[in-house]
Chain A
Amino acid sequence: MWLIKMAWKNLWRNRSRTIITMAAIFFAVILSVTASSLKDGIFSNLVKNVVSFYTGYVQVHKKGFWDEQILDNSFKSSSKVEEQILNEKNVTAVTSRLESFALASSADITKGSLVVGIDPEKENQITSLEKKIIQGSYLKDTDSAVLLSQGLSERLKLKTNDTVILIGQGYHGATAAGKYLVKGIVKFGSPDLNDKSLFMPLATAQEFYGADSMITSYILSLEHTKNLQTTRLLLGTELGSAYEVMTWEEMMPEVKQHIQTDSSNMKYVQGILYLLICFGIFGTLLMMMVERKFEMGMLVSIGMKKSKLIILLLYESVFTVLAGCMLGIIASIPLVYYLNRHPIRIGGETAKAYEKFGFEAIFPTSIAISIFIYQGITVLIIGLLLSLYPIYKVIRLDPVTAMKR
């Protein structure tokens, strides 16, 4: 107890040194919490983008569909399967699609297009398709109309209320043909989707392709995106080998790659940050040991056990580092919260890269509590590891040499 009191007094013997050390730790915590929450925020924001993008978190297909995306690899939509999927705790919503290719033409232009039959309402819940409308209005279940992607509409020179003609191969080799009203134009960030996709109500698509009650995929949205793999595995066993369950990471490996590169860049930033903290703390520890060398020699001379002296120094480090960490965490809460509300917007190359995938280049911070705790503990551990240096010096201390001047 008296050692704790003495440690406390020692902290204030050189006020500015203690404050410098605390400040170093304080800013270290703020910076690393912010960096880390940005990293996590960017990650989950990108993932969220992926969902509203097109793919969804998880898709269920008939086995083999992904490798050969043809109508003959479709399956009969079944409320039982749908229920099984929804029974999985982590799944919040599910919608069906019937996807295939067809030629879309206007008066004299023809273009290959991806015709997607959707359940308008459920689709909107998962991918917010309605928000992407830039002209006209959204589909209803019973419409015999389509939404054209912006690029495709420009190529075909079609506007809302024009008519598009679709010709393709239907289910089991039947011919598919039809004329549809263009009810709206949707804009995608991804050039690929923007240049060739076309949406119609599921029933209309089934009729067009002659694929009554057939679908090619279920699109799922999840509650906890971190449990992506677990959910995939659980669904895989639940649904059996007739189906394939795929995550967005498998379906869009290039996006996954991009996110990984970005988060590892962030890790370098954090690494440098931690290094700076180390130097900052170490510098003040070095100063302290030089300043107190004589005194420590004197204390050991008059009979203070080195173990006691070490405990004293440990208390001092723990106080300093802990106080710095706590204050840092407290101060970073409003900062991180602010950056969550007012996300950082970036421009330049990176922004273009993101836009290519259809993402907005805005970076909100994550406000997960675990980040504060994790970063705080990391800095705490760094601080405590560094205080091994004074301990080492005390172990090697020779009172006679220490008291020479």
Chain B
Amino acid sequence: MDTVIDAHDVSKIYNRETIPVYAVNNVHLHIEKGEFTALVGPSGSGKTTLLNLIGGLDKPDNGNVFINDLDITKLSANELIDFRLKNIGFVFQSFNLIPVLTAKENVEFIMLLQGVKKSIRDARVKQLFRQIEMDDKVDIRPAQLSGGQQQRVAVARALASKPKFVLADEPTANLDSKSASNLLDIMAKLNKEEHITFLFSTHDQRVIERARRVITLVDGRIVSDTAAVSTKHEKVDV
């Protein structure tokens, strides 16, 4: 198995001078290609902080984050932007999309940043919209899409750059249960059929149940990890 993410003893400490908050505390985390993993834990447990460290949006105070054997904590802010563009797909909780662009243009946007040729862009957009089951909504602006549809487009955008993995911080938090379940269906399908690696955080018990591996954070520490079980599942699935 290829290791995609290897977080090694990472810590993020806020308010060092006053009352230090160990948002992420000596975390070791290993994610292999093709995983479908949920990061859970109570509010303030450090889920967002950990995802930001792995996604190269933030730098740890301690430890290293390896993505495909590259230590991204050593990259400069500008190198990180480029790294994110080429290697990581992001889905945020809400307002993922650029309001002035249509669904299709939002997905295309990432490829424009990458300088992908028009013919390839068009083909990829078509394929992605089929995968998120929204062929009929390509030319609609985000404001006219439902929350669930917006998140699906965000997933399509995250995938447009053919990233090594997708990070999603509470992608279903603003969705009703039906839309949430629908989004999870699509993510799971992409994971299964295209072997896309997903790492997402959530509060939602129904979403947690869909994950094949569940990592639980409390006060910035990993308190449980179903890695052993998930690996077994994976072998069965593949």
Which single member of A298, A303, A305 contacts B96 (CB below 8 Å)? A298
In this complex, which of A299, A302, A306 has the most chain B Cβ atoms within 10 angstroms of its Cβ?
Answer: A302
Task: Write the B34-72 contact mask toward A (1 if CB under 8 angstroms, else 0).
Answer: 000000000000000000100101100000000000000
Q: Are A10 and B95 in contact (CB under 8 A)?
A: no
A2 interface residue per 8 A CB criterion: yes
CB distance from A7 to the nearest CB of B (A): 10
B227 interface residue per 8 A CB criterion: no
State which of B82-90, B122-130, B190-198 sits at the interface with chain A.
Answer: B82-90
State which of B97-105, B131-139, B199-207 sits at the interface with chain A.
Answer: B97-105
What's the Cα separation between A304 and B111 when bound, in Å?
11
The verdict on A399 contacting B95 (CB below 8 Å), with A301-B90, A303-B82, A306-B78 known, is no
B112 interface residue per 8 A CB criterion: yes
CB distance from A398 to the nearest CB of B (A): 9
B81 interface residue per 8 A CB criterion: yes
What's the Cα separation between A392 and B86 when bound, in Å?
26
Q: Which residue of B lies closest to A299 (CB)?
A: B98
- Residues of A with C-beta under 8 A to B100: 6, 9-10, 12-13
In this complex, which of B52, B96, B100 has the most chain A Cβ atoms within 10 angstroms of its Cβ?
Answer: B100
The verdict on A13 contacting B99 (CB below 8 Å), with A303-B110, A400-B58 known, is yes
What's the Cα separation between A305 and B55 when bound, in Å?
16
Q: Which residue of B lies closest to A7 (CB)?
A: B100
Q: Are A302 and B110 in contact (CB under 8 A)?
A: yes
B21 interface residue per 8 A CB criterion: no
- Residues of B with C-beta under 8 A to A308: 113
- Residues of B with C-beta under 8 A to A13: 99-100
- Residues of A with C-beta under 8 A to B149: none
Q: Are A400 and B57 in contact (CB under 8 A)?
A: yes
Which single member of A9, A295, A300, A305 contacts B95 (CB below 8 Å)? A295
CB distance from B38 to the nearest CB of A (A): 21
A381 interface residue per 8 A CB criterion: no
Size band of the interface chain B makes with A: 20 to 34
What's the Cα separation between A298 and B81 when bound, in Å?
11
- Residues of B with C-beta under 8 A to A282: none
A337 interface residue per 8 A CB criterion: no
The verdict on A302 contacting B157 (CB below 8 Å), with A6-B100, A9-B100, A400-B57 known, is yes
Which single member of B57, B98, B99, B161 contacts A301 (CB below 8 Å)? B57
What's the Cα separation between A298 and B86 when bound, in Å?
16
What's the Cα separation between A48 and B109 when bound, in Å?
62
The verdict on A6 contacting B82 (CB below 8 Å), with A303-B161, A399-B57 known, is no
CB distance from B39 to the nearest CB of A (A): 17
- Interface positions, chain A 286-326, Cβ under 8 Å from B, are 294-295, 298-306, 308
What's the Cα separation between A10 and B98 when bound, in Å?
10
Which single member of B81, B96, B158 contacts A304 (CB below 8 Å)? B81
Which single member of B52, B57, B82, B161 contacts A305 (CB below 8 Å)? B82
What's the Cα separation between A129 and B112 when bound, in Å?
75
CB distance from A3 to the nearest CB of B (A): 9
What's the Cα separation between A12 and B88 when bound, in Å?
31
- Residues of A with C-beta under 8 A to B110: 302-303
- Residues of A with C-beta under 8 A to B86: 303
A403 interface residue per 8 A CB criterion: yes
CB distance from B144 to the nearest CB of A (A): 14
- Residues of B with C-beta under 8 A to A6: 98, 100-101
Q: Are B57 and A306 in contact (CB under 8 A)?
A: no
Which single member of A300, A304, A306, A403 contacts B92 (CB below 8 Å)? A403
**Other contacts beyond A306-B78, A403-B92: 16, CB < 8 A:** A6-B98, A9-B100, A9-B101, A10-B100, A294-B95, A295-B98, A298-B92, A302-B90, A303-B85, A303-B110, A303-B161, A304-B113, A305-B113, A306-B81, A400-B57, A400-B58
A-B contact pairs, 19 of them (CB 8 A): A2-B112, A6-B100, A13-B100, A295-B98, A298-B96, A299-B98, A301-B92, A302-B84, A302-B158, A303-B82, A303-B84, A303-B85, A303-B113, A304-B85, A305-B81, A305-B113, A306-B78, A308-B113, A400-B52
Binding site for B on A (CB under 8 A): 2, 6, 9-10, 12-13, 294-295, 298-306, 308, 399-400, 403
Closest 6 CB pairs of A and B: A303-B85, A9-B100, A303-B84, A13-B100, A400-B58, A302-B90
